[in-house]
Structure formats: C-alpha cells, structure tokens
Amino acid sequence: MLLEKTLRARQEKDKILLMTHIVLGYPSFNTNRQVISQMVDNGVDCIEMQIPFSEPMADGPVILKANQDSLALGTTVADCMAFGAEMSQKHDIPFLFMTYYNIIFKYGEERFFKDCQSAGIQGLIIPDLPPEMGEEFFRLATRYQIAPILIFTPTSTDARMAELNKSASGFIYCVARRGVTGKKSEFDDDFGSYLSRCRTATSLPLAVGFGIRNKDDIAAITGKADIAVIGSETIRLVDEHGAAAVGPFISGLR
C-alpha cells in the first residue's frame, strides 16, 4: 500500500523517521492546525491523528484527558474527517487516524473507509481490534487501500507476531513496554531482544512508541527501528507552553 512506499522513500540511510501524535479537537482544531504546521515545518515524517473516544484503553493520563476534553467540546467523527482532508491536502506527509473500534462500528465500517479514502488518510491504528475479530475491517482496508497498522508488544509470542503480520500493512507499531502511553521506557538488553524478534517477524518498517520523550530516547532506538513515535510529550508541551513550543522541540530530536 501507499503508506509503506511513502515512508521508505522518506527514510535516508541511517536516519530514523519521526511520527507524532495529536488528539483531534484538543485543545481546539485551530491549535491542532498550528501544531501540525510546526511539526511538518520541523521535519516530522508522519502524523497520527486520534479521533477522540471516551474510554481510550491504551492511553495514559495525558492523552486520556485530551480525549475527554475534546469530546466535552463536542468533537465529532465528521469534524475529524473534514480536518483530516484539510491536513492531507495542505501537507505532503502521510496522515493516519488512530481510534477505537466502537467509533468505527457506530459510524459504519464501509462509510468510515470511504470517508478516510476521500480525506487522504493512508493508515489506521485501532488498538482494540485483533484480526480474528475484524474480518470485514481488514477486507475493507484492502479494498480502499488504507493500511491497517497492527501492534506488537513485549508479551507477544513469536507465533503471535507472525500471525499479526499476515494482516498488517504500512508498518508495525512496536509498543516499547507494558502499560499505557506516557510513562518513561527503558531501552535495555531485553528491549533489544524484543526488537530483534519484531524484526524477524515482519518485513514491514518498525515504529516504536510508548514513552519516547527526547533526543536520547530516539538515539537509543536509531538503527534498531525505522520510526520513533512521540505522543504524550508534545501534548504536555502544548498544555504548558503553547503550540509555538512544538517546532523547536521537534527540530532538536534528531
């Protein structure tokens, strides 16, 4: 699919790509616009836009609060689709949606894929939908050429990784540790062994997220993974210092 080709084309020798995460509608769509411009202008290669959900089980307190506040402001899936279309037309990098399956189910699976395709969305991250429960979802992903991005964790067996890889496209999201987003991760020997298992299980690019906070973290996974994912840290930065702080932060990460 297009997403993998686009990411591989952006990956220079010995360079790790950078993917960032925002929660749509938090603190506002106007701030989202400013933050995305700051990210793109400072070299981000891919942006994961979260459609807010009331019970985001994989997310820590920073992203959980952002989801709840966005919903309280009235953010809808239709708003997110319109915003996604605006961003993909304005910026020449891949945009993904991340959300939870109940959002897609209520919206209507085929309608969701049609609207994602119209909006120029290249991939979907749905943490609570395993392939065994998403036959129609994965069929539609192929039909509409939108990459279903699946997740490896440190507790995934080699057999499970191989099974997930059969349904994955775009890249594999490798969770750096057990638990939810936002907490610090340690990149020790066990982590290195885990990433080696991930690399053996798939030929897709590997993205590492959960607890990536700074330049040192990114340096620790460069050469072992293809994409570093920064999530909670940029949301904290906007909360504390405003959208203008994002650009200098991003530019100093690699």
Residues of the domain holding 161: 2-251
- State residue 177's pLDDT score: 59
In terms of Cα–Cα distance, which of 105, 83, 107, 98 is closest to 34? 83
pLDDT of the residue at 14: 66
What per-residue confidence (pLDDT) applies to 231? 87
CATH of the domain at 210: 3.20.20.70
**pLDDT in the model for residue 182:** 39
| pLDDT for res 178 | 52
How many domains does one find in the chain? 1
Residues in the chain with pLDDT values less than 70: 13-14, 58, 177-188
Q: What is the pTM of this model?
A: 0.93
Six token digits for residue 232: 């909670």
| Residues with catalytic function | 48, 59
Torsion over CA: 207, 211, 215, 218 (sign) = negative
Q: pLDDT value at position 179?
A: 41
